[in-house]
Amino acid sequence: MIEYIRGEVTEANPAYVVLETSGIGYFINISLNTFTSVKVSEKLKLYIYEVIREDSHSLYGFIDKKERELFLLLISVSGVGPNTARMILSSLSTSELENVIASKNESVLKNVKGIGAKTAQRIIVDLKDKIKTASLTLDNSNVSVNETSEEAIAALTMLGFPTNVSKKCVDAILKDDPTMKVELVIKQALKML
């Protein structure tokens, strides 16, 4: 089992990177969260998960161990494969995913491409006890901001806007006024998008 690969990034896009180390280029599948830390021609260390099958050998890379742990938890759920887990981690940050599972918020998971109602329920049921509650201690103001943010992003996604664009817009609005109601956040975001 490979724990991590450290090398120079020779190629990068939102779905994968090529890391060269000792003259070998490793094609490594990544999430959008990891991609934000990648810069071509710079050194990078990625924590690795290997998928070895009869017809393929794939590597999945993560910027930190926490993201890899969540990936491993996700693929332990029946019906969730490595690519689906990577899609979830591309749509939600690790803390957002932990909050969604802890708060049993199926609607946010259903907004992820490829996740239906049954899979969202299964993820929550299987993982709610495995997510570390210590990392989920938030004060009430953060919880309400997170709920407002999630509801606004979900509404904008249903209206056809990309999740990542909607998230950036909603985060900018709530940064200025964290007490804003969901309806006002959505109206403001529609003006900005």
Nearest Cα to Cα of residue 127 among 78, 81, 64: 78
The predicted structure's pLDDT at residue 114: 84
Looking at the structure, do residues 80 and 94 belong to the same domain, yes or no? yes
Looking at the structure, do residues 23 and 56 belong to the same domain, yes or no? yes
HSE of 183, CA atoms in CB hemisphere, 13 A: 0
The predicted structure's pLDDT at residue 172: 86
Instruction: Count how many domains the chain has.
Output: 3
Using CB atoms within 10 Å of the CB of residue 165, give its burial: 0 to 12 exposed, 13 to 18 middle, 19+ buried.
Answer: middle
The predicted structure's pLDDT at residue 130: 85
CATH number of 72's domain: 1.10.150.20
CATH number of 36's domain: 2.40.50.140
Q: By residue range, what is the domain housing residue 29?
A: 4-62
The predicted structure's pLDDT at residue 48: 97
The predicted structure's pLDDT at residue 174: 85
Which residues sit opposite 72 in a β-bridge? none
Using CB atoms within 10 Å of the CB of residue 30, give its burial: 0 to 12 exposed, 13 to 18 middle, 19+ buried.
Answer: buried
The predicted structure's pLDDT at residue 140: 38
Looking at the structure, do residues 161 and 179 belong to the same domain, yes or no? yes
Looking at the structure, do residues 51 and 78 belong to the same domain, yes or no? no
The predicted structure's pLDDT at residue 87: 92
Helix (H) or strand (E) holding 160: none
Looking at the structure, do residues 37 and 84 belong to the same domain, yes or no? no
Which residues sit opposite 4 in a β-bridge? 47
The predicted structure's pLDDT at residue 152: 82
- Secondary structure tally for the chain: helices H, strands E: 9, 5
Answering whether pTM is above 0.75, one says no
DSSP state, 116? -
Residue with tokens 């996700």: 74
The predicted structure's pLDDT at residue 3: 95
> Within the chain, which residues score under 50 in pLDDT?
133-143
The predicted structure's pLDDT at residue 167: 87
The predicted structure's pLDDT at residue 139: 39
3-class DSSP state of 168: helix
Nearest Cα to Cα of residue 92 among 109, 78, 80, 105: 109
